[in-house]
């Protein structure tokens, strides 16, 4: 993870001693520990958060005001349900919005791009040590190469098998092996890793999840039989989708 992405996460993060930070935030904190500028920014932000929390915590509502408000609420006559009443309509709209949010959380969230896969993509793009070896072979023929190197399960989707890999490597990211090949003529990198340590699941089987990582790169991810396959490609999402789907039909 680079400093820019770490700053983007930390600016929205409020530390809570009772709740452990997410894996993405933990990575961002590690990046901040090695960046003087980002560390000072985050420390200043933490101090501001503490002052705001202390101020809010010390606010006390006067007892007489609470009693007065309770009396006024009790004096409000009950209202009969009228769907044409603007207040009732507002309550109904709010209720429907709440149902929509809950539906997205329980049903739509699996369709979102997994944060752990995003972290792996960022690490691949910013990997300082690049132990790549020249292979100059079609992507489909590299399964045995990776097995000999100690990585089992490298499998390329059929529509990508024909593309020639220039070099390949097994990277260690979060203590997990990640197989990477570069495909320069397509401005792409193909990445394979086990889904189990990250609890990544993509359904329906064989479908892709997409994400525009930044202004330069787009991501696509699929998961099948316990293995994830990810593509990082230079360009926008529409170009990546055409690249993946043009030979799949």
Per-residue pLDDT, 106: 43
Do the domain assignments include residue 74? no
Least confident piece of the model among 28-32, 45-49, 120-124, 216-220:
45-49
Question: Does some domain include residue 82?
Answer: no
- Using pLDDT thresholds of 50, 70 and 90, give the confidence band for residue 38: confident
Q: Which residue range forms the structural domain that includes residue 53? A: 3-57
Partnered with residue 223 across adjacent β-strands are: 228
Give CA torsion, residues 100, 101, 103, 107, to 10 deg: 130
**Statement to judge: residues 136 and 22 lie in one domain:** no
| Burial call 49-63: b when 16+ CB within 10 Å, e when fewer | eeeeeeeeeeeeeee
Digit-coded pLDDT (tens) for 190-227: 999 999 988 888 878 888 999 888 888 899 999 988 99
For residue 138, being part of any structural domain is answered with yes
Give the residue-averaged pLDDT of 175-193: 93
Q: How many structural domains are present in the chain?
A: 2
By C-alpha distance, which of 76, 84, 111 is closest to 222? Answer: 111
What's the rounded Cα separation, in Å, for the pair 183 and 160? 10
Same-domain status, 129 and 215: yes
DSSP SS3 for 29: helix
Give the mean pLDDT of the chain: 80
Are 22 and 137 found together in one domain?
Answer: no
> 124 and 217 share a domain?
yes
Rounded CA separation 107/84 (Å): 32
pLDDT at residue 189, as a whole number: 94
Torsion of CA 108, 109, 110, 113, to 10 degrees: 120
User: For 24-43, what is the mean pLDDT?
Assistant: 81
Kindly report the backbone phi and psi dihedral angles of residue 88, in degrees, each rounded to the nearest multiple of 5, phi listed first.
-65, -40
Residue 15 lies in a domain: yes
What pLDDT does residue 81 have? 55
Band of pLDDT at residue 110, cut at 50, 70 and 90: very low
Work out the average pLDDT over 216-241. Answer: 91
Left if phi > 0, otherwise alpha if psi is -120 to 50, otherwise beta: which for 159? alpha
Q: Are residues 120 and 219 in the same domain?
A: yes
- pLDDT, tens only, 84-103: 666 666 767 777 777 655 55
pTM for the predicted model, two decimal places: 0.57
Query: What percentage of the chain has pLDDT greater than the value 90?
Result: 28
- Closest-CA residue to 190 (of 199, 198, 180): 180
- 141 with 236, same domain? yes
Which of 14, 34, 57 is the last residue in one of the domains? 57
* Domain final residue pick, 32, 57, 82: 57
pLDDT digits (tens, 9 = 90+) for 121-177: 988 887 755 678 999 999 999 999 999 999 999 999 988 999 999 999 999 988 899
Q: What is the pLDDT, as a whole number, of residue 28? A: 80
């Amino acid at each position: 993870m680079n400093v820019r992405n770490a700053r983007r996460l930390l600016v929205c993060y409020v530390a809570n001693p009772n709740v452990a930070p997410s894996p993405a935030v933990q990575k961002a904190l590690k990046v901040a520990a090695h960046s003087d500028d980002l560390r000072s920014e985050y420390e200043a932000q933490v101090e501001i958060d503490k002052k705001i929390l202390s101020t809010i915590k010390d606010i006390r509502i006067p007892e007489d005001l609470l009693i007065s408000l309770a009396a006024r609420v009790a004096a409000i006559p009950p209202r009969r349900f009228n769907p044409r009443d603007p207040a009732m309509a507002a309550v109904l709209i709010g209720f429907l919005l709440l149902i929509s949010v809950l539906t997205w959380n329980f049903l739509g969230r699996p369709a979102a791009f997994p944060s752990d896969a995003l972290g792996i993509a960022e690490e691949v793009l910013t990997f300082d040590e690049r132990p790549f070896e020249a292979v100059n072979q079609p992507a489909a023929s590299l399964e045995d190469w990776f097995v000999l190197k100690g990585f089992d399960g490298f499998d390329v989707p059929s529509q990508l098998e024909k593309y020639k890999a220039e070099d390949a490597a097994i990277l260690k990211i979060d203590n997990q092996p990640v197989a990477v090949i570069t495909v320069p003529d397509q401005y792409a990198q193909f990445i394979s890793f086990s889904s189990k340590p990250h609890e990544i699941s993509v359904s329906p089987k064989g479908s892709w999840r997409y994400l525009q990582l930044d202004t330069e790169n787009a991501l696509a991810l699929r998961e099948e039989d316990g293995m994830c396959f990810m593509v990082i490609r230079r360009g926008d999402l529409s170009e990546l989708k055409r690249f993946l789907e043009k030979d799949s039909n």
